[in-house]
Amino acid sequence: MGDKLRAGKIGIAYEVEQKLEQNYDREEEAGTPTHVVNWVNGVLQGEHDPIPGTDWKSICSHLRDGVALCKLINKLLKADGKSPITFQKKVMSPFVAMTNIENFNKGAQDYGLSKEFTFQSGDLWEVRKGPFLNVLNGIHSLGFVANGKKVKPAYTGEIRKMLDMA
C-alpha cells in the first residue's frame, strides 16, 4: 500500500527489514499465521467478521484498524473479570486506528501479556511484511497467556526456539 510512496531502504535498514521478512517466512512455514487466524476467528466468532485468509496481507489488512484486536482483548478481559478497554468501532482516520491499537496493547498488558510482546501501531498500520512479524508474535504470545487462563477455544500455536546464525 504505502510502499509506492516511500523510498527504498538501504544499508542497515535494508538488512534489518530483510531479516524480519525472513523470520516471518520461518513463522509462516511453521504455521503460526494459520494458528493465529484460527484462534482469533474462534474467539471472535459472531462478534466480528472473520479474518479472510492466512497470508500476512489478509491478516494485516483485517486487523489494521484495531477494531478486531480491541474486541478480542475485551472478550479475554471480560472472561478474566477485568474491565474492558475503550475503542472506536468506526475508524475514519489513521489516528483513530493507531489509538485503537495502542488501547489493545494496554489491554493485553492488563490481561497479562509482557510489554516486550506488544507491538507498535506502525507495525500493523503500515502493512509491511517485516514489521508485521511483531504483530504476529504479539498475538501468538497472547494466545499462550489465554491458554494459561483456560480460554476456549484454546490457542494451538507452538513455542519454537530459533537460533539466529547470521
As a whole number, the mean pLDDT across the chain is 90
Q: In this predicted structure, what is the pLDDT of residue 18?
A: 85
Residue 105 has pLDDT above 90, yes or no: yes
Count Cα neighbours of 37 within 13 Å in the Cβ-side half-sphere. Answer: 19
- Residues of the chain with pLDDT > 70: what percent? 90
How does pLDDT run across 116-163, given as a tens digit for each residue? 999 999 999 989 999 999 999 999 999 999 999 999 999 999 876 554
Q: In this predicted structure, what is the pLDDT of residue 154?
A: 96
Say if CB 24 and CB 4 are below 8 A apart.
no
Between CA 49 and CA 38 the distance in angstroms is 13
| Cis peptide upstream of residue 94 (ω within 30 degrees of 0) | no
User: What is the average pLDDT across 58-69?
Assistant: 97
Q: 138-157 as b/e, with b when 16 or more CB fall inside 10 Å? A: bbbbbbebbeeeebeeebeb
Say if CB 146 and CB 126 are below 8 A apart.
no
Q: In this predicted structure, what is the pLDDT of residue 158?
A: 87
pTM, 2 dp = 0.88
Residue 66 has pLDDT above 60, yes or no: yes
How does pLDDT run across 10-36, given as a tens digit for each residue? 788 788 788 888 988 998 999 999 999
Q: In this predicted structure, what is the pLDDT of residue 14?
A: 81
User: What is the average pLDDT across 56-83?
Assistant: 97
Residue 101 has pLDDT above 90, yes or no: yes
User: What is the average pLDDT across 73-102?
Assistant: 96
Q: In this predicted structure, what is the pLDDT of residue 161?
A: 58
Residue 80 has pLDDT above 80, yes or no: yes
Domains of the chain as residue ranges with CATH: 8-148 (1.10.418.10)
